[in-house]
Amino acid sequence: MSSLHAHHGHGHHHEAHDHDHGHEAPREGRGLWMSLAMTAAFAVIEAGTGLMAHSLALLSDAGHMLSDTLALALSLFAVWMGRRPPSARHSYGFARTEIIVAFVNGLVLLAVVTAIVIAAVRRLQHPEAVAGGAVMAVAALGILMNGGVVYALSRERHTLNTRSAILHVLGDLLGSAAALVAGAVVYFTGWDPIDPILSLVISGLILYSTVQLLRETLNVLMEGVPSHLDLRAVGRALAEVPGTISVHDLHIWTLSSGTMALSAHVVVDDLDHWRGLLAVMQDLLRERFDIDHVTLQPEVLDVALTHGRPVIPIHPRSS
């Protein structure tokens, strides 16, 4: 009886999960494809202009955009993998590919930031003349292009995957803005150090956002409790359901963006009432905490103690 109802919780999730992907799949990916094409083309233009104009701001932004091309390609791969159905070997499917890709994108961003900082320090030690006018023209075009890419990505389904891609492109947008300012300062004042200085400022902004992204993806990969949920609060809510004595072995983790899973052992008064109790708990978890992949194992108190499992109540209901 316990096994039957535990599998019932899994069945409910997969049905809802497949429905969600069927609804989002036709649109998801189109913005990524357009963004990939635009970013790759502009990276080549910006790198060529940066070399001719001796602008580190343009070259660093071009390097960032080349990394974005890789990031967007990885994001598209994650979308493709996420659409593959579950199998006997991968019973959860491949939705977590987006988490792995987001983590890899974060590491790539760290490498890009490091390269920009090293180049900026060297440029400050050995200044080079910058062609301000050319820098301003390409940077202005970059702002328009990156703004369009951000808009296209914002229309995608919001996941850690698309968030990491947007973070890359926002870094480009800031880089283009910095290059525009640097070009203007050089053009009107001739002060070349502004170019590497602004590169360092943008690197700091990118680094802050990248660390936040890496922390979030690592939490998912380590099966951590989602940051917006309180494990004990969820346990108390379950334990307060009439007919429940206590809850133990409670685990909550993220399968992929927007999809959370929960498993727990529930000590109950009477196993005969478990079917109705399970439905109440599933509804509670879905409506209050947005958790729809649920596996609950019912136990009666004497059975739990017989198997040597210490029953640690999580705010059990008042007698």
At residue 2, the pLDDT reads 36
User: Is pLDDT above 70 for 85?
Assistant: yes
Q: How confident is the model at residue 282 (pLDDT cuts 50, 70, 90)?
A: very high
At residue 165, the pLDDT reads 76
CATH for the stretch 29-222: 1.20.1510
Q: Is 13 in contact with 292 (CB distance < 8 Å)?
A: yes
Displacement of CA 265 from its chain's centroid (Å): 30
At residue 57, the pLDDT reads 66
Rounded to whole angstroms, the Cα distance separating 167 from 202 reads 13
Burial class (CB in 10 A: 0-12, 13-18, 19+), 21: middle
What six digits make up the tokens of 32? 């990524």
Q: Is 128 in contact with 242 (CB distance < 8 Å)?
A: no
User: Is pLDDT above 90 for 294?
Assistant: yes
Instruction: Give, in words, the CATH class of 231-299.
Output: alpha beta
User: Is pLDDT above 80 for 141?
Assistant: yes
What six digits make up the tokens of 164? 């990491």
Q: Which of 62-66, 85-89, 113-117, 268-272 comes out lowest in average pLDDT?
A: 62-66
More confident residue, 307 or 181: 181
Q: How confident is the model at residue 209 (pLDDT cuts 50, 70, 90)?
A: confident
What six digits make up the tokens of 135? 């820098």
Q: Is 187 in contact with 132 (CB distance < 8 Å)?
A: yes
Residues of the chain with CATH 3.30.70.1350: 231-299
Q: Is 316 in contact with 307 (CB distance < 8 Å)?
A: no
Q: Which of 60-74, 164-178, 229-243 comes out lowest in average pLDDT?
A: 60-74
Residues of the chain with CATH 1.20.1510: 29-222
Sheet architecture: strand order including 259-268:
244-256, 259-268, 293-300
